[in-house]
Structure 1
Amino acid sequence: MTNKRELVLKAFKGEKVERVPVGFWYHFAEEDELLNGFQNPDIFAKNVSGHKHFVQEVQPDFVKIMSDGFFSYPNPLITDQVRSIKDLAAIESLGDEHPWFDQQVALVKEVRATFTEDIVAVYNIFAPLTHLKWQISNKVAFGDELVAGFLKEDPQTFQHVLKVIAKDLATLVKKIITEAGADGIYYSAQTIQVPGFSSQDYKEYISESDLIVLEAANRAHGQNILHICGYKGASNDVTIFKDYPVQVVNWAVGPEGLSLKEGKRLFGGKTVLGGFENTEEGLLYTGSKEDIQAKARELVAENGQQGIIIGADCTIPSDIDNRRIAWVREALAE
């Protein structure tokens, strides 16, 4: 019988597997804590204990280690008072030895120490654009109008700022993989959520910052899962990301109007992750055991057993009954 580590790594590579792996996750900190865990031992401990309970109760095939508390990028120049991209023109790197890196390395090590079996662990990394917009708004899932204005104001300076953030994230990624023992990263990217923002603008001024981070993970021999984030109704042109150097791709199947089968074609046969809606209105959260298991089997029947991992569009609600995750894996194990 293939162990979970071997099973998941085979699935990442699109190889034949004995059963399709399952991957779901949720936050362990409250929303107002997500940006405030750096130098906060209470939020740090809450995140570690949340992972420990999750692993013990769910016994997952693999774990996405949540970066709860570290959503903010602590560059002193980027504050919620910034209203012009020119205010950030002099931005500098945090430097390789910043404690923001060290605390996340410690987080990954402590979470992995709670594992009861040898399983794959990837660490959540947000795109430079996401860090910038959350930092200037001081709120998760906000800041799009501000960054859209910054891009229009001075595209070259905007691109420069993202590259500085990206190089720091590349340092973080290298440390997470080589020092903390993570198997790779779960890279969350999202386009600017304002009318009129073009895909060409993303490719020309933003994609380079994504690639800096992803290529750092590849150089460290990590596994890359690309998450095209549809959180709170966000919509993305997923074709922007079709040639990114990743092994696995995850997106919001329903909201983006792109099935797993269609996505596999779009992304050149790469392994796809998803299938279930992640909201409180979705089947995983509200449905019966019979309906959830029927959906899981249907997804495998439609897509085959190679190059697929069953999961959700995005992070699922934190108060979900963990038995619902077990129902999905049970159906696929049959």
Structure 2
Amino acid sequence: MAENKHQILLDTLDNKPTDRVLAGFWHHYLSDEQKQVLGYRDLAVIDEVVKRQQNFYDRYDPDFTKIMSDGFFLHPSVIDNEFETPEDLKKIKPIDPDDPWITRQVAAVKAIVDHYEGEIGSFYNIFSPWYQLRLRFEIFEKDTEKIYRFLKEGPQAIADVLDVLSDDLIVLSTKLMNESGIDGIYLCVQQPQDADISTKHWQQYVQPSEVKLLRAVQDVHDYNIIHICGFEGKRNRLGDYKDYPVKAFHWATYVEGVSLKEGKKLFDGRTVMGGFENTVNGVFYKGTKEEIQAETQRLLEENGRQGILLSGDCSIPFDTDDAHAQWVSEMLTVSACQWVTGGEKR
């Protein structure tokens, strides 16, 4: 069955009927967190990440990809300053549009997208301003609570710096969309994992920077996805994101206990993505071909086909066999042929 995977992806994001459901899976390429943040300062590291992502495409032949931002995790001003109090966040300043963090990032992503030769669509991983600050404290200081202390002690200082970061991420995302060939960004967000921080507090001080960023990039190219991250069991109030200006929603179906079908109702019928548990305990990681393909068929039967993209709930483990992703796509191709010839679609 001849197919244009790139067009099918765009049609799926537009919530149009398609002959086939697509699947995409991704994992990180640098296991060293320091390299994930500082790698952009070493051309050899950038080259390594580009080649690994190109090779992943060659081995797996995915239906679409989410390109990883390994080496470029955090804004330079977030990296290069020390923050002892919320007021210290004023040290974070905008960077020049020609800063290497931007120009090298755009060039690296373009090299990966060019390798696809137009065969598939792709998105690029962007950590939200809040997510960037959180990772900064977790990676460099091993302090998982500092970001929440800052939000409670100096909420306006947090809001102000998130706005600064949002502006630079708009510059980066715009350049990526206009120059690298991606179809959109994949914005990673996560709500505060602190019971003392209310939804109202988050909505007042954190949410505006995320919505501002998404509204700006939607004006450039509107095929953007929001990833409501449930990595390592983190929980989010999914309904708080229903008004975000995006084409598709991705969340941890297993962590949140919300299926794709249920999420589609929650998000007013817009396109949804996910379905497979992404941990070493999930069938995608440890299952046989028969088990993985049976789970693929179950997800189709449970959630339908229109406006659905299958993927892991988040990044899959480094050592996942690429064949597992191929088995999912193979099953989706077979299922599509049976669906058309069986008279369900004319």
State the partner residue of 2:308. Answer: 308
Check whether the contact 1:56–1:116 (CA below 8 A) recurs between aligned residues. no
Superposition deviation, residue 90 in structure 1: 5.0
Q: Which runs of 5+ in 1 are unaligned?
A: none
Output aligned runs, 1:167-316, within 5 Å: 167-316=167-316
Superposition deviation, residue 41 in structure 1: 1.3
Distance in 2 (CA, whole Å) between partners of 1:275 and 1:137 is 28
Distance in 1 (CA, whole Å) between partners of 2:23 and 2:140 is 31
- CA separation of 1:301 and 1:292: change in aligned 2, threshold 3 A: same
Q: Percent identity?
A: 39
Superposition deviation, residue 197 in structure 1: 2.2
Runs of 4+ in 1 over 3 A off after TM superposition: 76-79, 136-140
Superposition deviation, residue 198 in structure 1: 1.9
Distance in 2 (CA, whole Å) between partners of 1:250 and 1:2 is 24
Q: Deviations over 1:109-131 (max 9, x none)?
A: 11112225521111110010111
Q: Which runs of 5+ in 2 are unaligned?
A: 335-346
- CA separation of 1:241 and 1:199: change in aligned 2, threshold 3 A: same
Q: Is 1:31 paired with 2:32?
A: yes
Superposition deviation, residue 315 in structure 1: 0.3
Distance in 2 (CA, whole Å) between partners of 1:30 and 1:91 is 27
- CA separation of 1:321 and 1:77: change in aligned 2, threshold 3 A: closer
Distance in 1 (CA, whole Å) between partners of 2:66 and 2:219 is 20
Distance in 1 (CA, whole Å) between partners of 2:54 and 2:91 is 41
RMSD: 1.6
- CA separation of 1:76 and 1:303: change in aligned 2, threshold 3 A: closer
State the partner residue of 2:338. Answer: none
SS at match of 2:77: coil
Output aligned runs, 1:48-67, within 5 Å: 48-67=50-69
Check whether the contact 1:14–1:307 (CA below 8 A) recurs between aligned residues. yes
SS at match of 2:83: coil
State the partner residue of 1:8. Answer: 9
Q: Normalised by the size of structure 1, how large is the TM-score? A: 0.95
- The residue identity in structure 2 corresponding to 1:17 is T
Q: Deviations over 1:138-171 (max 9, x none)?
A: 349x654111111111211110011001111111
Q: Deviations over 1:88-136 (max 9, x none)?
A: 2353211322221101111111111222552111111001011112223
Distance in 2 (CA, whole Å) between partners of 1:282 and 1:31 is 24
Superposition deviation, residue 273 in structure 1: 0.5
Superposition deviation, residue 225 in structure 1: 0.8
- The residue identity in structure 2 corresponding to 1:330 is E
- The residue identity in structure 2 corresponding to 1:145 is E
- The residue identity in structure 2 corresponding to 1:62 is F
Q: Deviations over 1:44-66 (max 9, x none)?
A: 11111111111111111111111
- The residue identity in structure 2 corresponding to 1:275 is G
Superposition deviation, residue 37 in structure 1: 1.1
SS at match of 2:39: coil
State the partner residue of 2:135. Answer: 134
Distance in 2 (CA, whole Å) between partners of 1:282 and 1:219 is 38
Distance in 2 (CA, whole Å) between partners of 1:143 and 1:213 is 27
Superposition deviation, residue 289 in structure 1: 1.1
Number of aligned residue pairs: 332
Check whether the contact 2:67–2:125 (CA below 8 A) recurs between aligned residues. yes
State the partner residue of 2:116. Answer: 115
Bigger shift: 101-110 or 32-41?
A: 32-41
